[in-house]
Structure 1
Amino acid sequence: MRKTTAVAAALSVALTGTAAHADEHADGTPLAPLGTYSTGAFDQAAAEIVAHDPRTQRLYVVNALAATVEVLDISDPAAPVKLFDLVAPGVRAADGSVVEEGAVANSVAVHGDTVAVAVEAADKTDPGWVVFYDTRGNALNAVRVGALPDMATFTPDGRLLLVANEGEPNDDYTVDPEGSVSIVKVNRRPAAVTQRDVRTADFRAWDGDRELPEGVRVFGPDLSTGEPGTPGRVARSLEPEYIVADTAYSAHVVLQEANAFAVVDLRTAEVTDIVPFGVKDHLEPGNELDPSNRDGGIDLRGVPVYGMYQPDGFDMYRHRGRSLLVTANEGDVRDWDGYSEEARVKDLELCEDSPRLRPYLDANGLTTADLQRDEALGRLTVSAAEGLREGADCHDELYSFGGRSFSIFTTGGDLVFDSGSEFERVIAEENPDFFNSNHTENQFDGRSDDKGPEPEGLTLGEAGGRVYAFIGLERVGGIMIYDVTDPAGASFVDYVNNRDFSAEPGTPEALDLGPEGLTFIAAEDSPIPGTPLLAVANEVSGTTTLFRVDL
């Protein structure tokens, strides 16, 4: 494990003009690994999402490889022990269906004595299930939900379970289910839930009279039938990824590929609004990135590219009476056999008189051919679906996937804070030999052309009266820690990477690879009285690691 507290203060001053809160921890590590449970499965998505039950001091970890949820005893967090599995296939649902063999567990949530597991059908375009268990591991019930249920969470009071039904197309793009949110009335009695207790919030209104806000991406093949009452282009295109229930009455849902989020009224089971995240200008000072894995070094620079935030994991908190979204800006691309928006800059036709590109080219004495060289922007992955000049087949603008950052937004979509280029700058200082490495191999600069460190998971936690964001970097690994107590003045605290680059990925010595799901365990809920913990599930190494939080 390596840490960068000394770097933290210098970078915070250089990039934000304020001193880092990490100065208080200059002699200690704010995030220290305590213990790890390993499945022994490498690059098989064997540890994805993690949920904590404070009553029993158990972790519930999604093992997609085995299509189960592994239950770990963490009463001694230095030595997590597996107790048993939650197995979904064979469970009979309230509608008479049976969870089939080949079904895949995608998410898990815990509230009180109830555990809920989102289960994808063997054919992901078919409706999935939510399976309910008690905390002893007994299957209690199941209900049908939408296609590809990818994330599940309870409302704060535990009365409702919310499920993000992503509704991805099949690989040929001949079948594309609609995206939706299932709202399941649990009322803390999961065994009594019937199919009538499942309501669906969909996006069909935007196929009708409602106008879609500018900046919400709807693209790709349109498989709508046009028949009354069936989902249209918008309902099929929008794919809910992640949900946070900020109150018992409302929830916010990230629509990752669309670069937007939706607001759901839980009382009426209606999507009341869709809000675009907007884009990040990588020409602006502080927003630099390294756009090439063929430039022979670490080269963070301003380039004429817009980054689509496209967050995956996010969390919410309140500051001075308003709710805020804190997002991990991973980026995601539609890339199927039947349709792909993915392209490299060198493979696009660029408009020679582009109002966006031409000033940059002229100021730097470049041609479009120069810009498309591998060591410039040629290798950068961008969307072929965005930036096309109307009525022509050349690109006026370039749009890359993800922000290589974390952000704080208002519920109206206004940007309060973005970490800019700080993630890549910290990694360059901390571990320059493996800058922007991938998670399946130790490499230098391997992911610079494609989303960089790729922030994916995020959770918030309070310690010492302050609020912190913990952001997992899927590719190079590690956890970025920021103090977000003052959202407009959020500051970098530390970067801790429990990965050993001297060991070969796939061996136990390599430690944690590919952090996916993060859960903060508050001091009052911790197995170590008075000490908060962070639980991190790592999908590539198949490990779940518990960290002690000293902030």
Structure 2
Amino acid sequence: MKSNILPLAAIVSMMLLSGCDGDDGKDGSNGADGTNGLSSLLVTSTLASGNSLCPFGGKQIQTGIDANNDGILNDDEIITAQTQVICNASQATLSMELIGRYESGVFGKSAAEIVDYHGASHLAYVVNAQSGMVDAIDLSTLNSQAAETIESSTLNNLSKSFSLDVVADSELSGLGSVNSISIYNDLLAAAVERADNIGNATQGNGIIAFYQLSASGEPSYIKAVTVGALPDNVVFSHDGTKVIVANEGEPNSAYTVDPEGTVAVIDVIDNLPADEATMITFNDFDAGNARFDELSELIKLNGPNASVSQDLEPEYIAVSKDDKYAYVSLQENNAIAVINLEDKSVESINALGLKDYGLVGNEIDASDKDDAINIMAYEGVYGMYQPDTIASYQWRGQDFIVTANEGDARDYDGFSEEERAEDLTLDPNHPQILAAQDNTQLGRLKITTSMGDEDGDGDMDKILSYGARSFSIWSHDGQQVFDSGSQFERITAAILGHNFNNHNEESKGDSRSDDKGPEPEALAIGEIGDKKYAFIGLERTGGIMVYDITNPFNVSFIDYVINRNFDIDFEIDGDDISGQPELAGDLGPEGMKFIGAESNPTGMPLLVIGNEVSGTTSVYQLTFDL
């Protein structure tokens, strides 16, 4: 549309002259032709779901003046102030599509574990644990096109740019595996285990190695800061002023050396980490000390000759949104420690209690020898939650902690608590006294011998197994507000059939029912628009469960996505590899990173997953089905 603009004075003169009745004068000579007016243009474009402006999609309307008369609204012609964005309502359903994958070619050696992302360089940093390296995977070539289903299990469209040799850069002796990384802006922190001075591989004080990352991702080593024994997880506070480390302090195989579990805090000032860490211990909870009586009997403390501070094993950390608290999973102990980050002290240790497998909604398949999907309730049988990965978010100003309830046993050469239910001496009145002797029911279930004798008479009143085969949401003080119950097993059984509760080092359905079932371990929370989603990785069966957790009291299942070919025959047993694991897809999701739409080259939210057993890094794009 063209519009010619006349001066106001001319318009007024025309109006005045139209009211006169005098004689017409002679026509004057024609004036020179005026210039054509400029056209205004309007362009409407569709915003895909996942867009940072409209998470659920919508339309963008841009207007401007066609200054060069080419009929095209160029960027410099847009009147930004008049741009309109009309977003779709949030009734769409989240979906995940595989768009990128990197194959290391290394199987069963933790070649892809914990992942993080550097926005400026579009590099995903992936812990290649046993090698002592951190691999940088280039995501800049990603586009929003999903991989074809037929090729998803063998997709290999991403490349490694370089590797950080953390062990070599630190120039310290005795260093072992890299266990964790975390990135804040251009600062990278890597947690590395270290041997002690008498040859125990992981019982020495580990380090956090710091790197400065350039805009291109080029790393520059800064320094190493000593922390506690076996640093298993490292995270930055949300404001980047602190690095918090969970030092697990596991014993050696003979259980003759058992370091204390601790939490380290390293201050960061002007993007430079301090030379020393503040160590937070659990010594006050040792027997005879001031806070011993605060410990619940439901906290599992069973290391031989171990003090409480030796027995507690910090596993993973979640930092509250306001940076006031760090929530630390104590996996083997079935508890969460709450750390006050303002005064660097232990506020509390919250026992997580037991999950009752006798209740409707909590049923399990407890046998790998029943040749069937047999998910049923067992009165008197319980699971310890024992979370591995945890995360934190807020709802209505209150902190909530999300846990992936993997489970873990103390099973060492020098001490083991692990047995099968058939080996227990049960109370004669236990409701499962017959089922516990049947290998097609409870007999094969792996259980702890350290808890369950409630009355101290030498027989077991409760059967306690490892993990809860679920994910949970807890309040700040350890009250459970949600648990997914038996949903993981029921969903995988419905979708995968007899391939449910599979192993990740071979394709053998129902082979993990006697252990920890699907074994949820990896976890990430993603915020898209006004919604918050939990992504939970099933370490053994594989695949990702997706839940809407926006309201922790109204959680809903969204999807189960898996990139695994169960028809491929393979077996991974250390260095002994048979079959074709390279065709099996992604095995053993270990770590996840959610990346917002505004921070990556696709302009859409992404989920990056490190798969420990297959050594692959997979990238999913998150969109909404309208």
The TM-score normalised by the length of structure 2 is 0.78
Aligned letter for 1:324?
F
Describe the superposition over 1:72-106 as per-residue Cα deviations: whole angstroms up to 9, x where unpaired: 111123643211111122444xxxxx422552100
Query: Is 1:201 aligned to 2:277, yes or no?
Result: no
SS at match of 2:333: coil
Question: Secondary structure of the residue that 2:309 maps to in structure 1?
Answer: helix
Give the number of aligned pairs: 499
**Any idea what SS the aligned residue of 2:489 has?**
helix
Q: 1:386 aligns with which of 447, 451, 457?
A: 451
Following superposition, the deviation at residue 464 of structure 1 comes to 3.9
Partner Cα distance (2:173, 2:192) in 1: 10
Opposite residue 284 of structure 1, the aligned amino acid is: L
* Counterpart contact for 1:71–1:84, Cα < 8 Å: yes
**Conserved in 2, the CA contact under 8 Å of 1:22 and 1:493?**
no
1:99-178 to 2 correspondences below 5 Å: 99-100=172-173, 102-122=175-195, 123-135=201-213, 136-178=218-260
Contact 1:22 1:492 in 2 (8 A): no
Distance (Å, rounded) in 2 between the aligned partners of 1:102 and 1:412: 37
What is residue 417 of structure 2 aligned with on the other side?
341
CA–CA separation in structure 1 for the residues paired with 2:365 and 2:553:
26
Report the CA distance between 1:260 and its aligned residue. 0.6
Q: What is the CA distance between 1:370 and its match in structure 2?
A: 4.1
What's the offset of the Cα at 1:189? 3.3
The residue type paired with residue 166 of structure 1 is E
1:508 aligned residue: 582
Alpha carbons of structure 1 residues 517 and 295: separation in structure 2 relative to 1, 3 Å: same
Higher RCO (C-alpha 8 Å, min separation 6): 1
Alpha-carbon shift at residue 64 of structure 1 (Å) = 1.1
| Correspondence for 2:267 among 161, 169, 185 | 185
| Residues 283 and 76 of structure 1, relative CA distance in 2, 3 Å threshold | same
1:165 maps to a residue whose letter is N
Where do 5+ consecutive residues of structure 1 fail to align? Answer: 1-20, 93-97, 224-232, 362-367
Q: Which residue of 2 aligns with 1:519?
A: 593
In structure 2, the CA distance between the partners of 1:454 and 1:214, relative to structure 1 (3 Å rule), is same
**Partner residue of 2:384?**
308
Partner SS, residue 440 of structure 2 = helix
Deviation at 1:486, TM superposition (A): 1.8
| SS class of match (2:386) | coil
Alignment of 1:188-337 (within 5 A): 188-190=270-272, 193-195=274-276, 198-207=277-286, 208-210=289-291, 211=293, 212-223=295-306, 233-246=307-320, 247-304=322-379, 305-337=381-413
8 Å CA contact retained: 2:175, 2:192:
no
Q: Deviations over 1:155-205 (max 9, x none)?
A: 011111111000000000000000000100122433x6312xx10111001
Which residue of the other structure, out of 127, 137, 140, is the alignment partner of 1:72? 137
Q: Aligned partners of 1:158 and 1:188: how far apart in 2? A: 10
Specify the alignment match of 2:436 in structure 1. 371
Q: Is the 8 A contact 1:468 1:485 kept in 2?
A: yes
- Using structure 1 for the length normalisation, give the TM-score: 0.88
Distance between the aligned counterparts of 2:426 and 2:90, measured in 1? 45
- Which of 85, 98, 106 is the matching residue for 1:33? 98
Is the CA contact (8 Å cut-off) linking 1:114 and 1:188 kept in structure 2? no
Identity %: 43
Q: Secondary structure at the match of 1:216?
A: coil
SS at match of 2:182: strand
Task: Find the aligned partners of 2:561 and 2:134 in 1 and give their Cα distance.
Answer: 27
Residue identity opposite 2:179 in structure 1: N
CA distance in 1, matches of 2:175, 2:229: 15
> How has the CA–CA distance of structure 1 residues 236 and 322 changed in structure 2, closer, same or farther, with 3 Å as cutoff?
same
The alignment yields a C-alpha RMSD, in angstroms, of 1.7
Q: Which amino acid aligns with 1:429?
A: A
Of 163-172 and 295-304, deviating more is 295-304
Asked if the contact 2:130/2:176 (under 8 Å) is kept, the reply is no
- In the alignment, what sits opposite 1:535? 608
* Greater gyration radius: 2
Q: How far is 1:24 from its partner? A: 4.2
Task: Return the alpha-carbon distance in structure 2 between the equivalents of residues 496 and 525 of structure 1.
Answer: 24
* Match among 434, 437, 460 for residue 395 of structure 1: 460
Contact 1:77/1:546, CA 8 A, preserved across alignment: no
Aligned equivalent of 2:31: none
Does the C-alpha gap of structure 1 residues 22 and 220 become closer, same or farther in structure 2, counting only changes over 3 Å? farther
1:322 Cα shift?
Answer: 0.8
3-state SS in 2 of match to 1:300: coil
SS at match of 2:598: helix
What do residues 197-228 of structure 1 show as CA deviations (whole Å, max 9, x unaligned)? x10111001111112133222112114xxxxx
Structure 2: unaligned runs, 5 residues or longer: 1-88, 144-156, 196-200, 571-579
